[in-house]
Amino acid sequence: MAEDRMQLQRFELKYRVKEEITALAIRDFISSYLEVDEFGATLPNYSYPVHSVYLDSPRLRLYWDTINGSKNRYKLRLRYYERRPEAPVYFEIKRRMNNIISKQRGGVRREAVDELLSGRLPEPAHLVSRDPKHLGGVQNFLRLMNTLEARPRTHVAYWREAWLSPHDNAVRVTLDREVRTEIEPAAWLSTQMHHPVYVFGRDIILELKFTNRFPDWFGDLVRHFGLMQCGAAKYVEGISRLGVDQVAHGFALEATG
């Protein structure tokens, strides 16, 4: 399994980029400081697919925590990148504590996902790694899921172009294109969508992520392109587009695979 270079704790600033030509100029700018992520280096537009199934309570508590600006909030999601039977599915908790983002996750074998979501306790055979962090991540995910009585609500997908510092994981920049969502009341874990809604239209979501000091060149980037920081929570904005009642009641097409 490839090394997991996810930043476990970081600061995160988001911007909406209106035009692809601006996004390409931003790519040229950041390429002077960062290296393109190995997963996208050989792909068109340096971008790899990202898929997430978000879980929430019957009353969408996690959605409303974000809408109401709760200081210490979190999201539960299943993240995956492809549909191959041997490809892992990550049970992920994304927390926001004031201005700091932290993540915890564990990789699960695809064939074990339904068992775990139905209440089965995780076992080593369910996981893709024997690293205790994976088991701890899945255990915490399931504890929160059961406390909330959470189940799958939406599927969010997009193309991610990622750049990162060559010697450590202290700085990371991503550009997410074609962010789309649809209601998904079960963990189908498909890479296809039936009738997706484009959450931000044609806008590209730029995220500047850093673990320690705000890099000086981030400030240069923001000033040079006249960027304005904004909120761009994909799950939350997606529900606003789909309709709160529709998502809460799972009004979706039947799964076709």
Question: What's the first-to-final CA gap in the chain, in angstroms?
Answer: 26
Q: What is Dmax (Cα atoms) for the chain?
A: 52
- How does residue 251 score in pLDDT terms, banded at 50, 70 and 90? confident
pTM over the 0.75 mark:
yes
pLDDT at residue 257 in the model: 40
Q: How many CB atoms lie within 10 A of CB 54?
A: 26
For residue 196, the 8-state DSSP code is -
> Residues 132-188: pLDDT tens digits?
999 999 999 999 999 999 999 999 999 999 999 988 889 999 999 999 999 999 999
Separation CA 51–CA 54 (nearest Å): 10
Do residues 196 and 157 lie in contact, with contact meaning Cβ atoms separated by under 8 Å?
A: yes
pLDDT at residue 10 in the model: 87
- Determine the 3-state secondary structure of 194 from DSSP: coil
Per-residue burial over 111-122, b if 16 or more Cβ lie within 10 Å, else e, is ebbeebbeeeeb
- How does residue 1 score in pLDDT terms, banded at 50, 70 and 90? very low
pLDDT at residue 252 in the model: 64
pLDDT at residue 119 greater than cutoff 50: yes
Chain mean position to CA 123: 25
Q: Residue 104 forms beta bridges with which residues?
A: 93
Record the tokens describing residue 44, joined without a space: 């068109």
Arch. (CATH architecture) of 9-248 = Alpha-Beta Barrel (3.20)
Q: Which residue ranges make up each domain of the chain?
A: 9-248
> Residues 184-224: pLDDT tens digits?
999 999 999 999 999 999 999 999 999 988 999 999 999 99
